[in-house]
Amino acid sequence: MYDSFVTDRLIDLWLTEDIGACDLTVQVMIEADETGKFHMNAREPMIVAGIEVAARVFKRYDPELKVKLLVKDGDKVEKGAILIEVEGSARSVLTAERTALNIAQRLSGIANETARYVAAIAGTKARLIDTRKTTPGLRMMEKHAVTCGGGLNHRLGLDNGVMIKDNHIAVCGSISAAVERARKKLPVLTKLEVECDRLEQVEEAVKAGADVIMFDNMSVADMTKAVAMIGGRAKTEASGGIRFETIRPIAETGVDYISTSKITQSAPAVDIGLDEA
């Protein structure tokens, strides 16, 4: 979910970016006392995400606006569904409109794309997880959108877990040495993950006591062998170059998790509009 303090700070930045000194169009065309009632509506089927933030944009710009949420994040809606009703100063509604639409379109797009990938691996044990490849400043919200689409979150940030990658291993000299060094200072309930791109590294990571082993850009054949080699002694994650076309065969290797940046970096925005009621 969203932290309201952080969200309001972001909304202030978004509105400042879009408005500048003033919304010149409404200032020259619409009288200060004119009011209106508007609907934010879905122009295509979608899974909703970010709708609470969109509603918050209107209230942040003008607390006097009456904003009514008709759906909640995670809801699946059809084309034509009304998502938000907003009523009050026409100047305020039209000034905040684009910012509210932008965030709802972006996050709902991520939820939709996530759901598409989740459906592609249905019936396997694999669970879809996201990455840290998110839009700067929007990670909290984009990761929330992933959960709306049925995915799971990987690390929220660098402070959420230890992931030993190739450069860490190079500095320490080996996977075993890297894991040993990390374990000495690792909080007792924090997971330790090791990235491997070869089967011999997988064996070393298992023996070193890694909690999670990532298969980085491995072939489907090697991932199948690696899952059997680990035999449940650690959780497994497939990562690197995951695409919609390749995710099903990867899921069928028996991995526990599949991580991909495609659901955040490449998700197309959905079509949401604001029309006068």
Known catalytic residue at 72: no
Of 55, 47, 50, nearest to 76 by C-alpha is 47
User: Which of the residues 127, 133, 155, 181 is marked catalytic?
Assistant: 133
Please report, for the domain that includes residue 216, its CATH number. Answer: 3.20.20.70
Instruction: Say whether both 144 and 255 belong to one domain.
Output: yes
Instruction: Say whether both 98 and 140 belong to one domain.
Output: no
Instruction: Say whether both 161 and 221 belong to one domain.
Output: yes
Instruction: Say whether both 141 and 258 belong to one domain.
Output: yes
Q: Which pLDDT score is estimated for 206?
A: 96
Q: How far apart are CA 241 and CA 261, in angstroms?
A: 9
Pair type for strands 127-129 and 46-47: unpaired
Of 115, 124, 134, nearest to 244 by C-alpha is 115
User: Which of the residues 76, 98, 181, 191 is marked catalytic?
Assistant: 98
Pair type for strands 257-259 and 235-239: parallel
Please report, for the domain that includes residue 36, its CATH number. Answer: 3.90.1170.20
Residues in the chain: 277
Domain count, the chain: 2
3 state SS of 268: coil
Q: Which pLDDT score is estimated for 189?
A: 87
Continuous segment of H or E residues that includes residue 149: none
Instruction: Say whether both 244 and 272 belong to one domain.
Output: no
Instruction: Say whether both 79 and 205 belong to one domain.
Output: no
Q: Which pLDDT score is estimated for 4?
A: 86
Known catalytic residue at 98: yes
Instruction: Say whether both 129 and 66 belong to one domain.
Output: no
Question: CB-based contacts of 66: which residues, under 8 Å, 6+ apart?
Answer: 85, 86, 87, 88
Known catalytic residue at 75: no
Instruction: Say whether both 103 and 122 belong to one domain.
Output: no
Tokens of residue 39, six digits: 């609907």
Instruction: Say whether both 209 and 242 belong to one domain.
Output: yes
Q: How far apart are CA 25 and CA 90, in angstroms?
A: 12
Instruction: Say whether both 39 and 148 belong to one domain.
Output: no
User: Which of the residues 113, 130, 193, 216 is marked catalytic?
Assistant: 216
User: Which of the residues 73, 142, 195, 256 is marked catalytic?
Assistant: 195
Instruction: Say whether both 81 and 188 belong to one domain.
Output: no
The tens place of each residue's pLDDT in the chain, 277 residues long, gives: 678 889 999 999 999 999 999 999 999 999 999 999 999 999 999 999 999 999 999 999 999 999 999 999 999 999 999 999 999 999 999 999 999 999 999 999 999 999 999 999 999 999 999 999 999 999 999 999 999 999 999 999 998 889 999 999 999 999 999 999 999 999 988 999 999 999 999 999 999 999 999 999 999 999 999 999 999 999 999 999 899 999 999 999 999 999 999 999 999 999 999 999 8
Q: Which pLDDT score is estimated for 1?
A: 60
Cβ atoms of 77 and 71 within 8 Å: the answer is yes
Known catalytic residue at 66: no
User: Which of the residues 116, 155, 165, 235 is marked catalytic?
Assistant: 165
Known catalytic residue at 191: no
Would you put residue 209 in left (φ > 0), alpha (ψ -120 to 50) or beta? Answer: left
Of 145, 60, 130, nearest to 95 by C-alpha is 60
The residue segments making up the domain with residue 260 are 118-265
What is the pTM (predicted TM-score) of this model?
0.94
Question: CB-based contacts of 271: which residues, under 8 Å, 6+ apart?
Answer: 42, 43, 44, 105
Q: How far apart are CA 24 and CA 30, in angstroms?
A: 10
The separation between the first and the last C-alpha atoms of the chain, rounded to the nearest angstrom, is 30
Instruction: Say whether both 40 and 130 belong to one domain.
Output: no
- CA torsion sign for 58, 60, 61, 65 is positive
